Chains A and B, each alone.
Chain A
Amino acid sequence: QQQVKQSPQSLIVQKGGISIINCAYENTAFDYFPWYQQFPGKGPALLIAIRPDVSEKKEGRFTISFNKSAKQFSLHIMDSQPGDSATYFCAASLGANNLFFGTGTRLTVIP
């Protein structure tokens, strides 16, 4: 059973465009929602994270939007650059231990 559902599976965006990746969850007890970025041949790296008491968090060109009532959250990448081409994973966590990852979105930014 997939705890976190992520879409789309792949995404192609023109340079300068906005990339949007969506995630949905069922367990309302989740209390921590990070996004990880993974480049080929590397492990995932934390990009940005949010807690359910805020609806939006922005760090540079990256923004998480969180909709608690809909049990959805999304990553927006503004002014997408070719260097942003990577696989992005959303995740959700309950308590101090596990992170449940989405299945990933492969983003390609075309110059």
Chain B
Amino acid sequence: DAGVIQSPRHEVTEMGQEVTLRCKPISGHNSLFWYRQTMMRGLELLIYFNNNVPIDDSGMPEDRFSAKMPNASFSTLKIQPSEPRDSAVYFCASSRGGREKLFFGSGTQLSVL
């Protein structure tokens, strides 16, 4: 099993640009989570999907953030327009159901200049 695959591993962009982060969950997993990790705030849940349906997006910081899961094997997190304070490591995680045993990807290191 390849695990959760995220791309890109690193993204450097300028303020105001659109950023799209991608995630391929583990096959057979029906729950998908997007987390953001910073030194100041640690790991924060942004959004949670179950069976491709967004269940909880209360952690999405602003309307600039949006997430989609068009099918069971793909999800995107988009930031438009990006700002320097969005700089963080963004993790995607999947599980067989809910919060039990999340499998995390290696993350996307985002730097907004």
* Cross-interface CB contact of A103 among B4, B42, B55, B93, cutoff 8 Å: B42
Interface size for chain A: under 10, 10 to 19, 20 to 34, or 35 or more residues? 20 to 34
The answer to whether B104 touches A93, judged by C-beta atoms less than 8 angstroms apart, is no
Known: A101-B42, A103-B42. A43 touches B105 (CB 8 A): yes
| A7–chain B nearest beta-carbon distance, Å | 13
* Cross-interface CB contact of A98 among B4, B45, B105, cutoff 8 Å: B45
The answer to whether B101 touches A97, judged by C-beta atoms less than 8 angstroms apart, is no
Contacts of B44 in A (CB 8 A): 101
The answer to whether A97 touches B48, judged by C-beta atoms less than 8 angstroms apart, is yes
The answer to whether B99 touches A43, judged by C-beta atoms less than 8 angstroms apart, is no
The answer to whether B104 touches A44, judged by C-beta atoms less than 8 angstroms apart, is yes
A12 at the interface (CB under 8 A from B): no
The answer to whether B56 touches A43, judged by C-beta atoms less than 8 angstroms apart, is no
Known: A42-B106, A43-B91, A43-B104. A97 touches B99 (CB 8 A): yes
Within 8 A of A (CB), among B90-113: 91, 93, 97-107
The answer to whether A32 touches B99, judged by C-beta atoms less than 8 angstroms apart, is yes
B43 at the interface (CB under 8 A from A): yes
Please encode chain A, from 89 to 111, with 1 for each CB lying within 8 Å of some chain B CB and 0 for all others. 10001001111011110000000
Within 8 A of B (CB), among A46-71: 46, 49
The answer to whether A99 touches B97, judged by C-beta atoms less than 8 angstroms apart, is no
Known: A97-B55, A99-B102. A44 touches B43 (CB 8 A): yes
Q: How far is the CA of A89 from the CA of B93 in the complex (A)?
A: 15
Q: How far is the CA of A36 from the CA of B102 in the complex (A)?
A: 9
* Cross-interface CB contact of B42 among A32, A34, A49, A104, cutoff 8 Å: A104
List 24 A-B pairs, Cβ < 8 Å. Answer: A34-B101, A36-B102, A42-B104, A43-B4, A43-B107, A44-B91, A45-B104, A46-B101, A46-B102, A49-B100, A93-B99, A96-B97, A96-B98, A96-B99, A97-B48, A97-B55, A97-B98, A98-B45, A98-B56, A98-B99, A99-B45, A99-B102, A101-B44, A103-B42
3 A-B pairs with least C-beta separation: A43-B104, A96-B98, A101-B43
A residues near B (Cβ < 8 Å) are: 32, 34, 36, 41-46, 49, 89, 93, 96-99, 101-104
